[in-house]
Chain A
Amino acid sequence: MNNGILGGRRQGRSGHPSRLRPADTWALAALGVAGRPVRALLSALGIALGVATLVAVLGIAGSSRAQLIAQIDALGTNLLTVTPGQSFTNGQAVLPATAPAMVRRIGPVQSTAAIGEVNANVYRNDRIPLANTDAINVYSAQTNLLQTMQGHLARGRFLNPATARFPAVVLGASAAAALGADRAGGTIQVWLGDHWFAVVGTLEPLPLAPELDRAALIGFPVARRLLGARGSPVEIYVRASPVSMAAVAGVLAATADPAAPQNVTVTSPADALTTRADASVALQSLFLALGGIALLVGGIGIANVMVISVLERRGEIGLRRALGATRTHIAVQFVTESALLAFAGGTSGAVLGGFATTVYATARHWSAVVPAPTLAAAMGAAVAVGGVAGVYPALRAARLSPAEALRTI
Chain B
Amino acid sequence: MTALELDAATKEHPGSPPVMALRSVSLTIGEGEFAALVGPSGSGKSTLLAIAGTLERPTSGSVRIAGAGVGHLPDRELAAVRAYRIGFVFQQFFLVPTLSALDNVASGLLYRGIPAARRRRAAAEALATVGLAHRSGHRPGELSGGEQQRTAIARALVGKPAVILADEPTGSLDTAAGQGILALLTALNAAGSTILIATHNPEIATAVPRTITLRDGAIESDSGSMR
- B82 x A323 contact (CB < 8 A): yes
CB distance from A24 to the nearest CB of B (A): 6
Instruction: With A11-B66, A11-B68 as known contacts, state yes or no: A324 contacts B92, CB within 8 Å.
Output: no
Q: Number of A residues whose C-beta is below 8 Å from B?
A: 41
Contact B68 A8 (CB under 8 A): yes
| Segment touching A, from B112-120, B173-181, B215-223 | B112-120
B80–A406 touching, CB < 8 Å: no
- Which residues 60-80 of B sit at the A interface, judged by CB distance below 8 A? 64, 66-70, 72-73, 75-80
Contact A403 B55 (CB under 8 A): yes
Chain B positions within 8 Å of A17 at CB level: 76-77, 80, 113
Would B50 and A403 count as touching, CB distance under 8 A?
Answer: yes
What 0/1 pattern do residues 124 to 158 of B give for CB contact below 8 A with A?
00000000000000000000000000000001000
Q: Are B1 and A1 in contact (CB under 8 A)?
A: yes
- Answer yes or no: A409 CB below 8 A from chain B CBs: yes
B108 interfacial contact with A, CB 8 Å:
yes
Asked whether, in the complex, the Cβ of A8 is within 8 Å of the Cβ of B94, the reply is no
Size category, B interface: 35 or more
Residues of B close to A91: CB separation below 8 A: none
Q: Which residue of B50, B81, B115 is within 8 Å of A12 (Cβ)?
A: B81
Set of chain A residues within 8 Å of B90, measured between Cβ atoms: 319, 406
Contact count A vs B, C-beta below 8 Å: 124
Inter-chain contacts of B82 with A (CB < 8 A): 18, 321-324
Within the complex, which residue of B69, B76, B88 is in contact with A9, where a contact is CB–CB below 8 Å? B69
CB distance from A282 to the nearest CB of B (A): 48
Cβ proximity bits A1-40 to B, threshold 8 Å, 1 near / 0 not: 1011000111111001111110110010001001100000
One of A58-66, A133-141, A255-263, A325-333 at the interface:
A325-333
**Whole-angstrom distance between the alpha carbons of A325 and B76 in the complex?**
8
Given contact pairs A23-B116, A321-B82, A326 touches B75 in the complex (Cβ within 8 A): yes
| Distance in angstroms between the alpha carbons of A344 and B80 in the assembled complex | 33
Q: Bound complex: CA of A241 vs CA of B80, how far in Å?
A: 75
A292 within 8 A of B: no
Q: Chain B residues with Cβ under 8 A from A323's Cβ?
A: 82-83, 88, 107-108, 110-111, 155
A21 contacts B94, C-beta separation under 8 Å: no
Identity of the chain A residue whose Cβ is nearest the Cβ of B70 in the assembled complex: A12
In whole Å, how far is B14's beta carbon from the nearest beta carbon of chain A?
Answer: 13
Q: Which residues of A contact B98 (CB under 8 A)?
A: 31, 34-35
Contact between chains at B78 and A322 (CB < 8 Å)? no
B55 and A402 within 8 A (CB): yes
Interface string of B85-101 (1 = CB under 8 A from A): 01010101010111100
Nearest CB to that of B98 among chain A residues?
Answer: A35
Interface pair B79/A321, CB less than 8 Å apart: yes
25 pairs of residues in contact across A and B, judged by CB atoms under 8 Å: A4-B67, A8-B64, A9-B72, A11-B66, A12-B77, A16-B80, A16-B83, A18-B82, A19-B111, A23-B116, A24-B110, A27-B116, A320-B111, A321-B82, A322-B86, A323-B88, A323-B107, A323-B110, A324-B79, A324-B111, A326-B75, A326-B79, A326-B111, A328-B76, A406-B50
Q: What residues of chain A have their CB less than 8 Å away from a CB belonging to chain B?
A: 1, 3-4, 8-13, 16-21, 23-24, 27, 31, 34-35, 315-316, 318-329, 401-403, 406-407, 409
Binding site for A on B (CB under 8 A): 1, 46, 50, 53, 55-56, 64, 66-70, 72-73, 75-84, 86, 88, 90, 92, 94, 96-99, 107-108, 110-113, 115-116, 155
